[in-house]
Amino acid sequence: MTIAPLIESISINKVFGGWHKQYSHHSKTVNADMRFAIYLPPQAINGRKVPVLYWLSGLTCSDENFMQKAGALRIAAELGIAIVSPDTSPRGEGVADNDSYDLGQGAGFYVNASQAPWSRHYQMYDYVVNELPVIIEAAFPVSNKRAISGHSMGGHGALTIGLLNPERYCSMSAFSPICNPINAPWGKKAFSAYLGKDRATWQQYDASELMGKARKFIPAKVDQGGADDFLKEQLKPETLEAAAKMNDYPLELTIHEGYDHSYYFISSFIEAHLRFHGEHLDR
């Protein structure tokens, strides 16, 4: 059985000489239907296998936010980089949820939940790291050269996944990531629900903890808005910067005064991130 018949096309749009495509499929990892979007640049259409940037979105987002708002596709077309954007959690009837925006559907936090009722479906770490790349590399003209990036909750996911799997990614980056979730309200709430009360288990999903202990490095780029309403309480980039300095980790972290947490910020600097990844994917 091939992979291609197992993914169902939702939409196709031509853009900058390439194609933006949206698909759904049943995920064995999360035990539910999942959706992802992929941008295939013109180089892929001409038969060349291109590298892939995996983009992880933030709280309440889906696969659509980045593709429609970030302004990334023109540069991806120029550089010959495919972009894959999965949904932020499993969804649908029977999938555990919560009335708040920062827990449950739309808020998977890119962890493998161990606590009921979340553990039945919320295995987003394994989905992003293992299942999704197998599908992408079997169904589309892409190589196994990967980079990973994301925003906010997705920035947390991109950094932790990159730090835990340096052999799988050429580079990692993030916009406004939750850098120290074990000490942030968003992280404490999600980790308590998904992972349980043992805070020692939380550290495996904390970028600051992981960066301070890393032994194999990949290039890392982080951009943060100085006028971000979540900066001090939730995001804590100073903890990531301190961990990098302590461990001599190759982190480029920049605070941009006046910028907030929105896609206005992301769209202002996404070109620099794509060129950063393009440089390392070419090596």
pLDDT one-digit tens code per residue, 254-278: 999 999 999 999 999 999 999 999 9
Residue 76 belongs to a domain:
yes
CATH number at residue 64: 3.40.50.1820
The residues facing 255 across adjacent strands are 224
What is the number of alpha carbons within 13 Å of residue 162 lying toward its C-beta?
Answer: 34
pLDDT per position as a tens digit, 188-211: 999 999 999 999 999 999 999 999
Q: Is the pLDDT of residue 81 over 80?
A: yes
Chain mean pLDDT for the chain: 97
At residue 238 the predicted structure's pLDDT band, cuts being 50, 70 and 90, is: very high
Known active-site residue 261: yes
Residue 168 belongs to a domain:
yes
Q: Is the pLDDT of residue 2 over 90?
A: no
SS3 sequence, 3-71? CHHHEEEEEEEEECCEEEEEEEEEECCCCEEEEEEEEECHHHHCCCCEEEEEEECCCCCCCHHHHHHCC
Residue 3 belongs to a domain:
no
- In this structure, what token pair is assigned to residue 278? 């393009």
Known active-site residue 228: yes
57, 151, 228, 277: which is the annotated catalytic residue? Answer: 228
At residue 133 the predicted structure's pLDDT band, cuts being 50, 70 and 90, is: very high
Determine whether 31 is exposed, middle or buried from the number of CB atoms within 10 Å of its CB (0-12, 13-18, 19+). middle
At residue 5 the predicted structure's pLDDT band, cuts being 50, 70 and 90, is: low
Cβ-Cβ contacts under 8 Å for 4 (sequence gap 6 or more): 138, 139
- In this structure, what token pair is assigned to residue 201? 């288990």
pLDDT at site 233: 98
**What is the domain count for the chain?**
1
DSSP assignment of 89-148, as one string?
A: S--STTS---SSTTSBTTB-TT-B--STTGGGT-BHHHIIIIIHHHHHHHHSSEEEEEEE
Domain assignment of residue 32, given as a range: 8-282
20, 121, 156, 261: which is the annotated catalytic residue? Answer: 261
pLDDT at site 46: 74
At residue 4 the predicted structure's pLDDT band, cuts being 50, 70 and 90, is: low
pLDDT at site 106: 98
Q: Is the pLDDT of residue 1 over 90?
A: no
pLDDT at site 283: 81
Residue 1 belongs to a domain:
no
At residue 225 the predicted structure's pLDDT band, cuts being 50, 70 and 90, is: very high
Cβ-Cβ contacts under 8 Å for 211 (sequence gap 6 or more): 159, 163, 220, 240, 243, 244, 247, 249, 251
What three-state secondary structure class fits 255? strand
Residue 2 belongs to a domain:
no
Least confident of 44-53, 139-148, 152-161, 224-233: 44-53
85, 89, 149, 152: which is the annotated catalytic residue? Answer: 152
